[in-house]
Chain A
């Protein structure tokens, strides 16, 4: 694919099919029965993304809006390489930190410190890089008192604070945020917002999924409106959110 240097993320005709959950978990027994009956297993196809083409420039903040099940999370997962689309091509430049679900990959038996190293390595960062960021991660999370305690003794809010701090302190090229700004107390929420603004100022490419239109308007340069996996509208933040609100 020929992609100019200023493009951070590019999608060309991307389609993602899911299979309906009922049929997806096959057991050998079912399989054999089906086979014996000479029946092909029927799949119900669900199109989560429909021929989506999209380009995000370096340093741009793109908001993604739409109803539940419109394909927002699927789109994020495609960009983060978690799922590979059956059709189309995906391009993403540099390191990606997904704030999809904070603390995926945390181990409750390990201490906060051990989890920082584990989580950073899941994101693909080396020990050296983590070493140099360690203090700022702990400081931002405000968990220095508990950093040598096992994670199982943390509250849910503390866990997400740690997750947010790791994903943001490691300084990714692309930051993916899936409705996580609602975590933590008011104080931490404000800190997160400031952090995100500082990323914007620094020129990090960001993708933000949210149902909060004020947040979207405040943070995003451009907004993508998804409907049933297809692009409904894409353009200036104020314009798209206004149309979206009119439609619902």
Chain B
């Protein structure tokens, strides 16, 4: 049991490395583009534009503010897909380093989730601007938004630990996950209203953790969500489960990773 926590403590000692990796990630990603960091906010806005042009007539009337609905979906999805995809690559992508210097390896998936989190927080700015422009009231549940985002990040980190470890042993995971993510996006109400899900399918949808996370994400900001506390309970359970499962899984294989890189 003690072994399990040793590396967690070690990561805290390496907080400086964690900080530097997050900063590097943010700095380097947009360094070569003309607009640079503005892309963090511009990207979801452009996606929103495309999706609302395509779907707004289709979903008109089912959702009060489709523009905000789709923008929040895009921001949410971008965080999850970017964070977990980068986490998936975080051991194989740093193999040069991992083969030469000792660091607590979990620092890499953790750092990419944190940098995705920074992006998420920044892209909330255009979302709130859109809400302001369209005159949509922000719910008092917004006070719970930080908790929702933290739970989502914990979930993504636990999941990312599994993905990154599996990828070391099965490189195909990179391609499999791309397809899996696409399928996952379609079964999650990202750009379609969750109300169009037929009632008898709801229990199946409840098995999708991201369904609950997106519900609390929107419910905390602007959308009326009568079952928000129920969704919170689901999210808390899923985050705790994935964090434990991810950590145990990573811990089980971490000493073998360098041999397979």
Contact = CB atoms under 8 A, between A and B. Distances in A.
A91 interface: no
B170 A122 contact: no
Contacts of A110: 24, 27-28
B16 A127 contact: yes
Does more than half of chain B's interface fall in helix, strand or loop, or is it mixed?
helix
Contacts of A157: none
Interface string B80-107: 0000000000000000111111110000
Contacts, number: 78
Contacts of A84: 255, 258
Interface in B223-259: 255, 258-259
A82 B101 contact: yes
Interface string B11-45: 00110110111001001100100000000000000
A122 B97 CA distance: 9
B17 A122 contact: yes
Given A80-B101, A82-B99, A83-B259, A114 B176 contact: no
A127 B81 CA distance: 32
Interface residues of B, number: 29
B20 A104 contact: no
Interface in A102-143: 104-105, 107, 109-110, 114, 117-118, 121-127
B101 A114 contact: no
30 contacts: A19-B259, A26-B170, A28-B170, A28-B173, A29-B172, A31-B170, A77-B99, A82-B98, A82-B99, A82-B101, A83-B258, A96-B102, A100-B101, A104-B100, A104-B101, A105-B96, A105-B97, A105-B100, A105-B101, A107-B24, A109-B31, A114-B27, A117-B20, A121-B20, A122-B97, A122-B103, A123-B101, A124-B13, A126-B16, A127-B16
Lowest 8 CB-CB distances: which A-B pairs, in order? A81-B102, A121-B17, A104-B100, A121-B16, A84-B255, A28-B172, A105-B97, A109-B28
Given A24-B260, A28-B172, A127-B16, 8 more contacts: A18-B259, A27-B172, A77-B99, A82-B101, A104-B100, A105-B101, A121-B20, A124-B103
Interface of A: 18-19, 24-29, 31, 77, 80-84, 96, 98, 100-101, 104-105, 107, 109-110, 114, 117-118, 121-127
